[in-house]
């Protein structure tokens, strides 16, 4: 019959996989959901062996390593192209600047008809010609988005607004999502931190932060906030930092000076919800964010959140109805917000429960994986693609 495909659509995801961060966690959940639904056949190419590669292999996914540590960019393109041909790929789905560039070039070399990208967040830095290789990659990435790919998925309203101005006929929004059943299996807790003036000050209130040790995450602000809570607000708190990265050593030195014996560095953790069950509050002081997976994970298990009012964070916290949004992006602003939150246990419990319900309604895996499936189906249609909004997108243009 006309319009019925003779085979399932094969979608190949291309992602770095050098670490286990928000984009990797989201890609894994998407591929896992697609495989379970059996409507799309997912495969993958990663640029590094590691946790994502191992997890995908564990699912039984066909995954190839185009190792960026040992292969030139051209050899990576050839490796990706060989994978696409072998898997009879219909759609290439890229995740990241380098992945967009190499993946799309390989797509055309392998004569794969369609491709799209997911923009997982804002650029962490503004590149200049002082970094010529990265600047050229950024320019090439923009050209590929304009002329070489068929759709751009924004994971938040903020990203959608930013990208639809640059790519008005290609941008749709499909929010990041979380598998609530898997998150719940890690344990759920409505925290009950100690309030100021409590006679029993053991254990201390544990304030958690999750993020790579890179400038945009502002670990320095987190440390300053913990110091201010202890010294000025006289609240017994411990800061717990989960994550690894290039600034880790310098941040440990900074913590020893600013908040000695008050900061714990846990390093990289692969099971964020399980770790967070021991926290009382999640603090997110990043300069900017896309739609952070760690925030969804925290909210899903009932951890109250204090976060910078930026990027996709307000979407997860329903504009402040499901958490504390801070506009005073300073230690004073964050310390005041946390002090106010933990002084009212009834409000703290209520806002945590409300946030969990909101995430379940708006950011569940099932509904957002279906939106990806619908987008793949529209892209794989042999007729001219008409890319219109997928339920939650405000962009009404088409390609």
223 shares a domain with 189: yes
For the segment 14-34, the average pLDDT, to the nearest whole number, is 92
The answer to whether position 254 is within a domain reads yes
Which domain does 15 fall in, by range?
Answer: 9-177+364-380
CB-CB neighbours of 392 under 10 Å? 15
Whether 268 and 358 share a structural domain:
yes
Mean pLDDT computed over every residue of the chain: 87
Task: For residues 83-98, give the mean pLDDT.
Answer: 96
- How far does the chain reach from its first CA to its final CA, in angstroms? 26
Kindly state whether residue 392 falls inside one of the protein's structural domains: no
Does residue 299 lie within any of the structural domains? Answer: yes
Lowest mean pLDDT among 121-130, 220-229, 244-253, 351-360: 121-130
Task: Look up the CATH number of the domain holding residue 347.
Answer: 3.40.50.2000
* C-alpha torsion angle, residues 203, 275, 192, 349 (rounded to 10): 170
Q: Is 301 left (phi over 0), alpha (psi -120 to 50) or beta?
A: alpha
Q: Confirm whether 389 is domain-assigned.
A: no
- Based on the domain organization, do 298 and 375 belong to the same domain? no
DSSP output for 333-374: HHHHHHHHHHT-HHHHHHHHHHHHHHHHHHSBHHHHHHHHHH
CB 309 within 8 A of CB 285: no
Question: How many structural domains is the chain composed of?
Answer: 2
Strand, coil or helix: what is 4?
Answer: coil
Looking at the fold, whether 200 and 331 belong to one and the same domain comes out as yes
Residue that wins the pLDDT comparison between 205 and 201: 205
The backbone torsions φ and ψ at residue 12, rounded to the nearest 5 degrees and listed phi first, read -105, 120
Tokens of 365: 């895996």
What is residue 352's predicted lDDT score, i.e. its pLDDT? 85
Same domain, 160 and 226: no
Does this model's pTM top 0.85? My answer is no
CA-to-CA separations, 253 to 116, 246, 268, in angstroms, rounded: 43, 13, 18
pLDDT band at 129 (very low <50, low <70, confident <90, very high): low
Rounded Cα gap, residues 180 and 177, in angstroms: 9
Tokens at 170, concatenated: 């290609």
The pLDDT of residue 124 is 55
Residue 116 lies in a domain: yes
d(CA 46, CA 357) in angstroms, rounded, equals 34
* 320-366 residue pLDDT tens: 999 999 999 999 999 999 999 988 888 888 888 888 889 888 898 99
Residue closest to 72 by CA, chosen among 100, 50, 102: 102
């Amino acid at each position: 019959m006309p319009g019925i495909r003779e085979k399932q659509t094969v979608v190949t995801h291309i992602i770095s996989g050098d670490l286990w961060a928000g984009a990797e966690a989201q890609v894994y959940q998407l591929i896992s959901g697609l495989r379970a639904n059996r409507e799309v056949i997912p495969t993958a190419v990663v640029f590094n062996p590691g946790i994502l590669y191992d997890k995908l292999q564990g699912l039984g996914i066909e995954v190839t390593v185009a190792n960026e540590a040992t292969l030139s960019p051209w050899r990576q393109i050839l490796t990706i192209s060989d994978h696409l041909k072998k898997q009879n790929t219909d759609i290439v789905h890229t995740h990241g600047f380098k992945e967009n560039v190499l993946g799309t070039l390989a797509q055309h070399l392998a004569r794969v008809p369609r491709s799209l990208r997911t923009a997982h967040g804002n650029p962490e830095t503004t590149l200049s010609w002082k970094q010529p290789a990265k600047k050229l990659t950024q320019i090439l990435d923009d050209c590929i988005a304009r002329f070489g790919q068929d759709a751009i998925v924004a994971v938040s309203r903020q990203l959608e607004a930013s990208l639809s101005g640059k790519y008005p006929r290609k941008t749709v929004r499909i929010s990041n999502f979380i598998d609530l059943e898997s998150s719940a299996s890690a344990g759920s807790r409505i925290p009950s931190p100690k309030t100021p003036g409590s006679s029993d000050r053991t254990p201390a209130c544990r304030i958690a932060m999750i993020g790579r040790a890179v400038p945009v995450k502002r670990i320095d602000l987190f440390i300053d906030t913990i110091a201010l809570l202890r010294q000025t607000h006289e609240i017994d708190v411990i800061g717990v930092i989960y994550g690894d990265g290039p600034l880790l050593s310098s941040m440990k030195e900074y913590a020893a000076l600013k908040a000695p014996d008050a900061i714990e560095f846990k390093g990289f953790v692969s099971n964020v919800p399980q770790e967070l069950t021991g926290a009382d509050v999640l603090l997110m002081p990043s300069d900017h964010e896309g739609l952070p997976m760690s925030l969804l994970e925290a909210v899903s298990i009932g951890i109250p959140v204090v976060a910078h009012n930026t990027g996709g964070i307000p979407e997860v916290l329903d504009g402040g109805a499901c958490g504390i949004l801070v506009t005073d992006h300073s230690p004073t602003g964050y310390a005041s917000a946390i002090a106010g939150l933990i002084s009212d246990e009834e409000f703290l419990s209520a806002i945590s429960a409300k946030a969990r319900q909101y995430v379940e309604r708006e950011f569940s895996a099932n509904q957002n994986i279906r939106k990806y499936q619908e987008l793949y189906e529209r892209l794989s249609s042999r007729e001219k693609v008409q890319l219109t909004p997928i339920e939650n997108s405000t962009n009404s243009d088409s390609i």
